[in-house]
Amino acid sequence: MPRVQPHPEHSEGGRKYGAFQKEIYEDGILRNKLPTVTTNPNKLEEQARNHLGVRSFNYVAGGAGEKATMEANRLAFRQWKLVPRMLRPTTHRDLCTELFGYKVESPVCIAPVGVQTIFHPDKETGVAEIAREVGVPYILSTASSSSIEDVAKASGDGIRWFQLYWPQDDEITISLLNRAKNNGYTVLFVTLDTWTLSWRPADLDNAYVPFATGIGDQTGFSDPTFLRKFQQKHPGKTPENDVKLASREWEADVFSGAAHTWDQIELLKKHWCGPIVLKGIQSVEDARKAVEVGVQGIVVSNHGGRQLDGAVGSLEVLPEIVDAVGDGITVLFDSGIRTGVDIIKALCLGAKGVLLGRPWVYGLAVNGKQGAKDVLKYLLADLDQSMGLAGIRDIGGCTRDMVRKGDASRAEAVGVLSGVDRGEVRAGKYAKYFQWFDEAEINFEGGIEGSDAIRQG
């Protein structure tokens, strides 16, 4: 009898991402080489902090207001639990799936993140390269520090999609869409929640907006229609000889403070020949409206907690949105993903794919494009291994019956409360967690520092 049961492999299959775990162990044991970027998702942000200046770190790690939406995103994941199944043929897993007509090797996509040059000189072009190497779609942000054309060249034959911060000027909008189409970007992601920047204390305290000095404006500065209009308005001026003026003009169009409306989707449909995906949907009503106006996809997202503070956690509303739209539209998810298990939970709750943001940015900060690549491989290996351990053989096996929702547990409450200062506790911000502790445990001076004792309790 063979030592390992010959579980059938999928006929097509895909990359065996879980094998990266073995590579890490072999590098350490045989070659005394340890990971440059930590594999611990709870230490990754702090490692990135040590490699970035204050303004750059605050820009990526910060959020809107008091970060209540960021906390809601993570708490939503903690409340959903996997229900593992045993004695299933999961020795060989298949992470392949289909998104917008494209066969992809996993349900993971690179989220559109702007101004990547402030994290590392490898910036967008480097990340587009490694996305192709790892086998995940790359979504280019309008707020890129590399041009549409340069990223397309770096991406090569990789799958690439384009995210639009929607200008007020229709002629400029059409020019951006044409450039993206002509350079092999095949799906259009339209961000709805960032027509103006939110109240972000981490950036405000340093008076830092990278776009004001031309960082993240390369999409505009390389656009012939924007340049023509800019020079008509300001004769003799160019982004090269007056970057601040050019930046103000570009920002005034892209982050204008004026919201678009549903009827204007028709302009995008008229000038884009591929799938259109609306990013930033948080309500059932908006999801149904997206189906009604005839787009092909939505991203259930709160911009990673960077826009509206006090908003609902994205995972919390994902199931009801999926149930409301049925098969009428492709539902993707982002906001709060930190682990492979998080990805499984989102898929089980109905998402067809996920967009990954901050983790790979932290990897980029630590070790350039190789660091970003390592983090992607970590997440995909974790996804692969955890699917097998949960009894899930392929993406189709990520179904609602594999998860269960419960209230925040005592252990989760400790995780949230550890390090919180006394003033915040008195303000009642964390009152929902107090059910897990008696008066003696929370009546203290100088913060919740007895968390080890509480854990033992």
d(CA 21, CA 78): 24
Q: Is 163 helix (H, G, I), strand (E, B) or coil?
A: strand
d(CA 7, CA 178): 48
Q: Which phi and psi angles does 138 have, rounded to 5°? A: -110, 125
Return all residues near 292 (Cβ < 8 A) that are at least 6 apart.
Answer: none
Quick one: angle between helices 19-31 and 358-390, nearest 10? 110
Does residue 342 contact residue 77 with C-beta atoms inside 8 Å?
yes
| Annotated active-site residue in 7, 92, 260, 303 | 303
Does residue 20 contact residue 380 with C-beta atoms inside 8 Å?
yes
d(CA 305, CA 175): 30
Per the listing, tokens 């995972």 go with: 315
Strands 403-405 and 138-140: unpaired
- Secondary element (H or E) of residue 75: helix 68-79
Residue 303 catalytic?
yes
CA distances from 78 to 346, 412, 414, 450 (A): 12, 7, 12, 22
Tokens found for residue 228:
């023509």
Length of the chain: 457
Strand partners, 82: 403
d(CA 365, CA 46): 11
Q: Which phi and psi angles does 318 have, rounded to 5°? A: -55, -50
In eight-state DSSP terms, residue 116 is G
- Residues recognised as catalytic: 303
